[in-house]
Amino acid sequence: MVEFQDLHRLPTFEDLSRKELEAVAPLCEKRRIAKGVTLFQEDRQATRLYVLDAGRIVILMNGAHGQRAMVYTVQPGESFSWSALVPPRRYTASALAIESSDVYEIDGRKLSRLFKREPALGYKIMCRVSQLVSKRLRHTRLQLLNIHDWQTAEQAQAV
């Protein structure tokens, strides 16, 4: 059983009022994920939104020849699997626990139905989800820029 106080300390839900938190809490479950367990697979139907409470989860993308590449480490307090709230509700990546981890798991469809009944609550959470998507986009751009090893035109004419 997840209490509303548990949710309030998570950034995804910190804008919600007590009444709104009490409406969301019954849709949540807290789960311990063992090291090495894949929470969800890329391209599968996205059913659940997760928030990492403790531990370490990495996001992976399928590569060629069945190889998978790790592209992002989820930080504690951060939500992931936002695809569960947005059509076409397919996971855009996989998630793997590389340490034993505690997550909050929220049924995406039930949460969407709650949004329809309580649009103000839905707006607050979707603002947070938009921030998450924006953060991932910015992060991907920085990876594309190769910020750890980017070379100036000057360095390209190296000595």
Partner 1 sequence: MSDAAGSAVDYLPELSTLAAVRPLTAAESLFHLDMPHRALGHHPGQFVQVSLPGIGEAPISIASSPTRPAGFDLCIRRAGNVTEAIHRLKPGAKIGIRGPFGRGVPIDDCMGRNVVIIAGGLGLAPLRSLIQYITDHRSRFKAVTILIGARTPETLLFPDEYGAWRSRDIKVEVTVDVSKETWLGHVGVITNLISRIDVDPDTTVSIVCGPPIMYRFVLRKLARRNLQNDHIYLSLERRMKCGMGKCGHCQINGLYVCLEGPVFRYDRIAHLPEAL
CB of 99 to partner 1, least distance (A): 9
Q: Which single residue is written with the structure tokens 């019954």? A: 26
CB of 95 to partner 1, least distance (A): 12
Read off the amino acid at residue 75. Answer: Q
Taking 3-state DSSP, the helix, strand and coil percentages for the chain, each rounded to the nearest 5, stand at 40, 30, 30
Q: Which of residues 71-100 bind partner 1 (CB under 8 A)?
A: 71-73, 75, 96, 98
The binder of partner 1 chosen from 8, 31, 68, 110 (CB under 8 A): 68
Of 45, 46, 53, 67, the residue nearest 11 (C-alpha)? 53
Site map 33..62 versus partner 1, x via CB under 8 A = -------------------------xxx--
Q: H or E element: which one contains 69?
A: strand 68-74
∠ CA(8), CA(13), CA(15), 5° rounding?
A: 95
According to the binding rule CB under 8 A, does residue 116 interact with partner 1?
no
Q: How many residues bind partner 1 (CB under 8 A)?
A: 29
Residue ranges that bind partner 1, judged by CB under 8 A: 58-60, 67-73, 75, 96, 98, 139, 142-143, 145-152, 154-155, 157-159
